[in-house]
Amino acid sequence: MKKVHSQATVEQYRQILNRKGSLYNILQQTADGLSNAFTRDQKTPEDLIFDLFKIPNKNEASIGKLLSVLKSYGLQENDPRLAPMMERIWRIERENEEISNEARDPKHWKLSKNDFKLCVIESLSLISRTLQNNLIVPSWNPFCNIIKEIFEAVRPLSDGDVATYIPQLARQNPDSWGVSICTVDGQRVNFGDTKNPFCIQSVSKAFNYAIAASDLGADFVHHFVGQEPSGRLFNEICLDSKNRPHNPMVNSGAIIVSSLIQSKMNMADRFDYMLSQYRKISGGEYVGFNNAVFLSERLTADRNYALAYYMKENKCFPPEVTSMTDALDFYFQLCSLEGTCESMSVMAATLANGGVCPLTEERCIESRPCRDVLSLMYSCGMYDYSGQFSFHVGLPAKSGVSGVMIVVVPNLMGICLWSPPLDKLGNSCRGVAFCKELISRFNFHNYDSLAHTESNKFDPRKRHGELEKDQVVSLLFAAKAGDLNTIRRIFMQGADLEMPDYDRRTALHLASSEGHLETVKFLINIARVKPDPRDRWNRTPYDDAVTFGYTVIATLLDKAMGMSDSGIKSAASISSLSGVGVGTNLKLLPKRQLSVPSSDDDEEEEEVVDDKAESPLDNNSKNTSKTNSSEVLFTLGGAVSDCPTEPEKL
């Protein structure tokens, strides 16, 4: 039975369901039943969900508590995927209210078994995945807590100034600060001013390109605009070596891209088309238009007019574009579209999800344009800070002078940040600071996933227990192969090197079985693991070393166990174990009585050797006080070894 719920999640269920006694088994059985919903003699998914939310001693279930559980996983009641269920719930409740003549709080809505099942079946797929904890971020609450910490840490930042070259934007409140996140499974969280509308400005460039490339094909679009970072200011009057704008993220490229979109329609139809496309990408969330900003931007557009006529002179526009005024008006209209943090986070999540809106599960952007726009955002999306941003943060992003930033974590989530004060390069000061802190806490950087990366960053994609599973697999394979570098790296990451596998075998068991002396020394001397763990067959690492004939390791473990049994824990005592020679033969080692130091000083303590004692593994040896060059002289402060370099077997 696969474990799907952490203790924190179980406690969360307990608070919502208000149940006493063991809840873990009920949740586990529900998850297992839902994952095998169509096996023979198995309850239907609707029955399993009803049983979980059933009111004791009644044939009713609390639909309000189901909604609370879904919300605890980041799913909101206005999620379009839950709309059929919510419509049926409201219809049933209205009928009940008319009968009882009493309005009820949705949190206390109770439905009969038949009504409950009819409601649940409307959105069964999403509910089933959620109760199995199969969403992209299974540890949702810990993730949200960290995001809130970062949000609050960045809030006091007072750097930067509000953009003033567009008069309407200069009136924005510099204290506004909002963060919204939407995952590719539609889990959402919001902090701060996330419902305040703002103009998306240059963020529109990314979506305009994606829509144009989806409609016309990427190859056709790039006949008119390049893909290279310009290395120039975003509004500089210049073209590349082929007389094209450098990329769609600078003003010249964005003007050309917008002129390609539905170029044969009239202006009104073109605007309606783009507005509907934006709303489609946002899953029906708020997308509006600010006419005041449009008029203000058009009034101060001398540089953009200069750019347009310069490109017209160099024949950059498609043949059907004849009016520069119409071309620029359409570009200004798209920059003046309004959104909120909530709606823009869904649009960013659509890019993270390969062009499919996570709320409607409808394809809005074709696969290649989605890939291409993320590449352009990664290299050109943050004005003249793009190179530094890709270096420090390592994620595709696009910013606008209204203070908005969208950040995409591919295959995971979209993030929208909004704070009007900008730095000298035109990016939101709080937004950039948030992203840097985000990367320091989560392994979201594009290259955090490299093999052998040393990192203690949190990965919210991993289910509870997956990190420990990955660590124990890596540790045990490294111990079997004698890969001391990997073991050191795992140790430096703070992992417990006593982690066992299913058979309760540890890294020390495997290293002892394979004869990796240096690994055993590291585990005993540095990691200070327990020297005598027992596996399911009641065997210790010492038993394995003796069985496979690794006498030096057996001696080392025997000595460590003796110290452990005597309660010897000082650093000097343990460090003496490092003096075991690599090739020492166990039957030549006499039994020794050790004098233990009382402090961690550097003086070498005296060792008393009982020369008449026999080795426990060699009953035929009668003169153990006579040794040859393979013996090792043990001292508590160190050791001297004169021996071969390879382990010898019995």
Distances (CA, A) of 536 to 4, 206, 504, 545, 555: 25, 58, 6, 17, 23
Q: Is the pLDDT of residue 495 over 50?
A: yes
Averaged pLDDT for residues 257-275: 95
What's the CA gap between 431 and 420, in Å, rounded? Answer: 9
Structure letter (DSSP) for residue 526: I
Task: Determine the Cα angle at 24 with ends 23 and 26, to 5°.
Answer: 65
Question: 432 and 491, same structural domain?
Answer: no
> How many Cα atoms occupy the beta-carbon half-sphere of 559 within 13 Å?
29
Entry field: residues in the chain: 650
What's the CA gap between 233 and 250, in Å, rounded? Answer: 8
Tell me, yes or no, whether 459 lies in a domain. Answer: no
What's the CA gap between 377 and 399, in Å, rounded? Answer: 9
Q: Which residue, of 441, 475, 494, is where some domain finishes?
A: 441
Structure letter (DSSP) for residue 169: G
Tell me the residue ranges of DSSP E strands in 202-290: 287-289
Decide which of 185 and 32 is more confident.
185
> Within 10 A of 214 (CB to CB), how many other CB atoms are there?
21
Residue 234 confidence (pLDDT): 77
SS3 470: helix
| Region of 613 on the Ramachandran plot (φ > 0 left; ψ -120 to 50 alpha; else beta) | beta
The amino acid that residue 20 corresponds to is K
Question: 325 and 198, same structural domain?
Answer: yes
Tokens matching residue 302? 């001398």
Q: Is the pLDDT of residue 527 over 50?
A: yes
Question: 425 and 562, same structural domain?
Answer: no
Q: Is the pLDDT of residue 189 over 60?
A: yes
Mode of pairing for the β-strands spanning 608-609 and 592-593: antiparallel
The amino acid that residue 112 corresponds to is S
Place of tokens 């310009």: 230
Note the Cα 555 to chain centre separation in Å.
45
* Confidence band for 387, pLDDT divided at 50, 70 and 90: very high
Tell me, yes or no, whether 457 lies in a domain. Answer: no
Residue 595 confidence (pLDDT): 32
Distances (CA, A) of 435 to 110, 165, 179, 584: 43, 26, 11, 56
Decide which of 553 and 96 is more confident.
553
Averaged pLDDT for residues 350-368: 96
Residue 598 confidence (pLDDT): 35
Question: 162 and 53, same structural domain?
Answer: no
625-632: list long-range contacts, CB under 8 Å, 24+ apart: 625/590, 627/588, 627/590, 628/588, 630/581, 630/583, 630/584, 630/585, 630/588, 631/584, 631/588, 631/589, 632/579, 632/580, 632/581, 632/584, 632/589
What's the CA gap between 227 and 300, in Å, rounded? Answer: 28
Question: 426 and 310, same structural domain?
Answer: yes
Question: 162 and 33, same structural domain?
Answer: no
Averaged pLDDT for residues 153-163: 94
Question: 435 and 310, same structural domain?
Answer: yes
| Residues 437-468: b if buried by 16+ CB within 10 A, e if exposed | bbbeebbbbeeeeeeeeeeeebbbbbbbeeee
Q: Is the pLDDT of residue 26 over 70?
A: yes
13 exposure class (CB count in 10 Å sphere: 0-12, 13-18, 19+)? buried
* Confidence band for 31, pLDDT divided at 50, 70 and 90: confident
Tell me, yes or no, whether 160 lies in a domain. Answer: yes
Contact 519, 479 (CB under 8 A): yes
What's the CA gap between 434 and 46, in Å, rounded? Answer: 42
| Top-ranked range on mean pLDDT: pick from 6-10, 18-22, 328-332, 485-489 | 328-332
Q: Give the contacts of 381 (CB within 8 A, at least 6 positions apart).
A: 206, 249, 389, 396, 397, 398, 399
> Within 10 A of 64 (CB to CB), how many other CB atoms are there?
19
Residue 42 confidence (pLDDT): 67
Contact 180, 198 (CB under 8 A): no
Tell me, yes or no, whether 140 lies in a domain. Answer: no
| Top-ranked range on mean pLDDT: pick from 6-10, 510-514, 591-595 | 510-514
Number of folded domains in the chain?
Answer: 3
Q: Model pTM?
A: 0.73
The mean of the pLDDT values for the chain is 82
- CATH of residue 474's domain is 1.25.40.20
Tokens matching residue 15? 């608070």
3-state SS, 539-600, equals CCHHHHHHHCCCHHHHHHHHHHHHHHHCCCCCHHHHHHHHHCCCCCCHHHCCCEECCCCCCC
Which range among 164-173, 244-253, 336-345, 458-467 shows the weakest confidence by mean pLDDT?
Answer: 458-467
Structure letter (DSSP) for residue 187: -
Q: Which residue, of 105, 134, 163, is where some domain finishes?
A: 134
Decide which of 466 and 48 is more confident.
48
Tell me, yes or no, whether 45 lies in a domain. Answer: yes
Question: 169 and 115, same structural domain?
Answer: no
Tell me, yes or no, whether 38 lies in a domain. Answer: yes
Note the Cα 154 to chain centre separation in Å.
20
Q: Is the pLDDT of residue 107 over 70?
A: no
Percent of the chain whose predicted confidence (pLDDT) is above 70: 79
Percent of the chain whose predicted confidence (pLDDT) is above 90: 54
Distances (CA, A) of 153 to 157, 405, 437: 8, 18, 9
Closest CA to 400 of 338, 307, 474: 338
Which range among 131-145, 233-247, 305-319, 444-458 shows the weakest confidence by mean pLDDT?
Answer: 444-458
* Confidence band for 466, pLDDT divided at 50, 70 and 90: low
Residue 33 confidence (pLDDT): 72
Decide which of 58 and 622 is more confident.
58
Question: 369 and 503, same structural domain?
Answer: no
Which range among 31-35, 580-584, 597-601 shows the weakest confidence by mean pLDDT?
Answer: 597-601
- CATH of residue 62's domain is 1.10.238.210
What's the CA gap between 406 and 435, in Å, rounded? Answer: 10
Q: Greatest CA span in the chain, whole angstroms?
A: 108
What counts of helices (H) and strands (E) characterise the chain?
A: 26, 14
Question: 242 and 118, same structural domain?
Answer: no
Residue 15 confidence (pLDDT): 73
Q: Which residue, of 108, 134, 160, is where some domain finishes?
A: 134
Please give the full DSSP string across 124-168, using - where no structure is assigned.
HHHHHHHHTT-SS-SSHHHHHHHHHHHHHHHTT---SB---SSTT
Distances (CA, A) of 436 to 150, 351, 429: 10, 21, 11
Q: Is the pLDDT of residue 38 over 70?
A: no
Question: 57 and 193, same structural domain?
Answer: no
Residue 607 confidence (pLDDT): 37
Q: What is the CA radius of gyration of the chain?
A: 34
> How many Cα atoms occupy the beta-carbon half-sphere of 61 within 13 Å?
22
Residue 94: which domain range?
7-134
* Confidence band for 467, pLDDT divided at 50, 70 and 90: low
Q: Is the pLDDT of residue 588 over 60?
A: no
Averaged pLDDT for residues 490-516: 87
Residue 55 confidence (pLDDT): 87
Question: 480 and 426, same structural domain?
Answer: no
Contact 317, 327 (CB under 8 A): yes
Task: Determine the Cα angle at 157 with ends 428 and 167, to 5°.
Answer: 45
The amino acid that residue 411 corresponds to is N
Strand partners, 415: 181, 407
- CATH of residue 385's domain is 3.40.710.10
